[in-house]
Chains A and B, each alone.
Chain A
Amino acid sequence: MAGTFRRVADVFGRIPRWVYIVAALVLAIVFPMLEQAGLMQTLWLRLGTRTLVYVLLAVGLNLVLGETGLLHLGYVAFFAVGAYSTAILSSPRLGIHWNFWVIIVIATVLAMLFGFVIGMPTLRLRGDYLAIVTLAFGEITRMTFNNWESVTNGPGGIPGIFPPNLFGWVVDKPAEFFYLLLASVVLVVWLLNNLKKSRVGRAWNALREDEIASHHSGVRPTQVKMLAVVLSSGIAGLAGAIFAYYQQFINPTYFLFMQSTIVVCMVVLGGMGSIPGAIVGAVVLDATPEIIRQAFTQWLPDALGSDFLPGVQTALQTDFDRYRMLIFGLVIVLMVIFRPEGLLPDQLWRREVHDEDPRDQEHTRQHLFDFEEGEKDLEV
């Protein structure tokens, strides 16, 4: 069984990477057209848009959690900062209606600023402190938005956010938001992928693997970690801004601690430090529960008669969220125990968690033998 799995994985592993990227992009571009053509309910398009928001968050969190190895548990707070700055600056609440581009920049920069403030006292210390401070910050941000009624309208939230206007193109349909989000995802992924391969990216990975050794090789830990935290906060702020525009209404319950843990779970499931992993993790964890719910409450009863497993149907309709989170918690524990490298692992991280010698791996050995000179020296 495991052997078959490995062989199948091998076949898929031989397909070049650009094929996957093109396939994913084509799929994503065609997806909203299905709704336009009437082949799909709008429900699914809305789910897809939400998934893209999660993809953006997961890719951003991956920068801190996966690349740099810092546990960040209040990621949704930066998302909230972005969403609220958008809602305040572009809604009838205070009667302000600023330009989309200005707001996007403000939301991103403000979130970055908060990331900097959080990082300043904690990044000098051991990594665990960042976890607890971000956890506390996440809660405090939500409480502040909840209590600061003169600006945020408290638990009532801010309704009626104006649709964004991109040089005359008013974005207000789910499909248009889907494309807007897709563009941001592509932009962010492209940026992060380049960063990952750059000097800074190698510094992040070095810090994750051995802080002391990398410090002695000339990496400045605090500054480099700060860069990761600030950048990923900015991505969350951007995601928050677009989310607020899309939702047209936000209130503090969108920014519960649970949301942060869902994003952590996506990154862990997909594979820490791997950008495709983060994307796949977000898609799997956001879409699968919804598909299961639809399957048991709609498709299977439709196909097999409405008395199909009525207990399961009611359970899924009423207690769905609890079971979902229960399973997410279990997924995190099981993943870190049995497959810490995630579904689509990053090579470096896989070696780190399994203590593998890179020379033992077949493709590395092949690669080493490609050098014609010194073949004998490299024999291990």
Chain B
Amino acid sequence: MSFEHVFSLTVSGVTVGMIYALIALGYTMVYGVLQLINFAHGEVFTVGGYIAASTLIWIGVDASTPLWVKLGYFALALVVSVVVTATLGWLIERVAYRPLRGRSRIIPLLSAIGVSIFLQNLLIVIFGPEPIIMPTAIVPAGFVNVFGARVRILQIIVIAVSLLLMALLTWIVKGTRIGKAMRATSQDREAAEMMGIETNRTISFTFVIGSALAAIGGFIVAMYYGSLQFDTGFLYGLKAFTAAVLGGIGNIPGAVVGSLILGLAENWGVGLTLGLLAWLFVVGLALGLYIQMVHAPRRRIDHIADEFRTPEYEGRLKAVYRLAPVVAVKTLLSERTDALVHVSARHAVQLMAGNLVLFAFAVVFFMNGDVQFSSKWQHVISFAVLMAILMFRPSGILGENIQEKV
């Protein structure tokens, strides 16, 4: 378990995380403006990759093509795939979601799943069930040495391009008129409409931007792994959605943070021995204990109105958190006299349970220090992350960015 190994795992984790982020941004933006999980987004991503790859196959690139011509073809494929996919995103919204606006919540979700099935099988009908192979000549080969680890040039390009796109997106959302309209629409659609914002156009624009990002993601995945299959987008979409929830759905920086965490978790999870992974649980445990012992009681105390904030009461709340097994459980079992103490006791017991789980994981992992997860369990990791985040902090790491209207 050398440093180079850990470093190259980290680089591939960041690369995969960036790809997830490109897809997760589409989910999170659509969720922001419509409160809809766009299940078809994963398929839009696959379509983007397929269009790019088939354009390059159709042009016919081989090793003898000079570099600048290759770059031209590359740009052409990118433009074609982005245009086609953005149109597809627009069309999906127009045909499958817009007529259903204002219906009960489950109806657009059903429509989304229908679109997703339709697109996936359309890809099979058109391209066949075999994976589409990216022409290898277009993919930058070559490695560079960073800190003694071999890093693919493509990985560096992917990270750079993704960062650039995210900067561009930030500029669009924060610095342009349409971005302002997007933010307004996601805060309150009716109010935005009354202020003269064309919400329909804004929503269409959100779909177009999200789909374009997904198309670039699809292109990158096709280059990175060399091929793409009709159901690739399903798994990627699922993981990108997990990443979006992890960071806080509707929250644009959250999608990027969540994606990076998920990418790293997947690569470290199957690349490192359990002894090294245990340290992550130790860090998590330290964080959890900090929350339980310091952060949570302080926040509870902040909520008490000044005239009731006596030292004894503060001491009682702190004791509930710090001596959770004794005081909190006793409070929970006793008669319900003080709502705040009772709620705090329940919270304290939950936090303690979480910390115990982390501790148990750390101990088990340390005891089997040199075992390693087989890579076939990689997908299970993101599911475990999803369940854990929904269990303990459903609003995500950076918090949700939507106002739930009643």
Residues of A participating in the B interface, judged by any CB pair closer than 8 Å: 65, 69-71, 73, 120-122, 124-125, 127-129, 131-133, 135-137, 139-140, 143-144, 147, 208-209, 212, 257, 261, 264-265, 268, 319, 322-323, 325-326, 328-333, 336-337, 340, 352-353
Contact = CB atoms under 8 A, between A and B. Distances in A.
A140 B379 contact: yes
Contacts, number: 123
Contacts of A128: 37, 105, 109
Given A132-B241, A322-B121, A331 B114 contact: yes
Contact of B105 (A121, A127, A132, A265): A127
A202 B377 CA distance: 42
A24 B82 CA distance: 53
A264 B390 CA distance: 24
Enumerate the 7 nearest inter-chain pairs by beta-carbon distance, A residue then B residue, closest first: A332-B114, A329-B118, A329-B117, A333-B114, A326-B121, A121-B390, A121-B391
B289 interface: no
A204 B121 CA distance: 34
Contacts of A129: 245, 390, 394
Interface in B367-401: 374, 376-377, 379-380, 382-383, 386-387, 390-391, 394
Contact of A336 (B110, B125, B390, B406): B110
Interface string B355-374: 00000000000000000001
Nearest to A68: B106
B242 interface: yes
B394 A125 contact: yes
A332 B125 contact: no
A65 B109 CA distance: 11
B337 interface: no
Nearest to A140: B383
Most A-side CB within 10 Å, residue of B95, B117, B234, B390: B117
Given A121-B390, A329-B116, A268 B121 contact: no
Nearest to A325: B121
Contact of B110 (A144, A147, A264): A264
B242 A136 contact: yes
Interface in B97-146: 99-100, 103-111, 113-122, 124-125, 129
Nearest to B122: A326
Contacts of B118: 326, 329-330, 333
A133 B390 contact: yes
20 contacts: A69-B106, A71-B109, A121-B394, A127-B106, A132-B37, A132-B242, A132-B245, A133-B386, A140-B380, A265-B114, A268-B110, A325-B120, A325-B121, A328-B117, A330-B114, A332-B110, A332-B113, A333-B115, A336-B110, A340-B103
A265 B382 CA distance: 28
A353 B380 contact: no
Contact of A329 (B115, B129, B387, B406): B115
Interface of B: 37, 95-96, 99-100, 103-111, 113-122, 124-125, 129, 234-235, 238, 241-242, 245, 374, 376-377, 379-380, 382-383, 386-387, 390-391, 394, 406
Given A121-B390, A121-B391, A125-B390, A143 B379 contact: yes
A261 B121 CA distance: 13
B113 A73 contact: yes
Given A212-B406, A326-B121, A329-B118, A121 B387 contact: yes
A333 B95 CA distance: 9
Contact of A131 (B37, B100, B111, B376): B37
Given A128-B109, A209-B104, A325-B120, 8 more contacts: A127-B106, A129-B390, A133-B390, A139-B383, A144-B380, A326-B118, A337-B96, A352-B104
B347 to A, nearest CB: 14
Nearest to B384: A140
A70 B125 CA distance: 31
A332 to B, nearest CB: 3
Given A257-B234, A326-B121, A326-B125, A353 B387 contact: no
Nearest to A137: B383
Nearest to A65: B106
Contact of B111 (A136, A143, A319, A333): A333
A39 B390 CA distance: 56
A99 B111 CA distance: 43
Contacts of B108: 336
Contacts of B125: 319, 322-323, 326
B114 to A, nearest CB: 3
A294 B96 CA distance: 33
B65 to A, nearest CB: 35
A42 B120 CA distance: 33
Contacts of B106: 65, 69-71, 127
A41 to B, nearest CB: 29
B117 A325 contact: yes
A135 B109 CA distance: 13
Contacts of B122: 326
A332 B117 contact: yes
B349 to A, nearest CB: 15
A264 B105 contact: no
A117 B68 CA distance: 56
Nearest to A66: B106
A125 B105 CA distance: 14
A336 B100 CA distance: 8
A332 B234 contact: no
B384 to A, nearest CB: 9
Nearest to B117: A329
Contacts of A71: 106, 109-110, 113
A326 B125 CA distance: 9
Contacts of B99: 337
Nearest to B392: A121
Contacts of A352: 104
Contacts of B380: 140, 143-144
A322 B126 CA distance: 10
Nearest to A324: B121
B107 to A, nearest CB: 5
A65 B110 CA distance: 10
Nearest to A212: B406
Nearest to A127: B105
A88 B110 CA distance: 35
B26 to A, nearest CB: 15
B107 A336 contact: yes
Contacts of B109: 71, 128, 131
Contacts of B121: 322-323, 325-326, 329
Contacts of A323: 121, 125
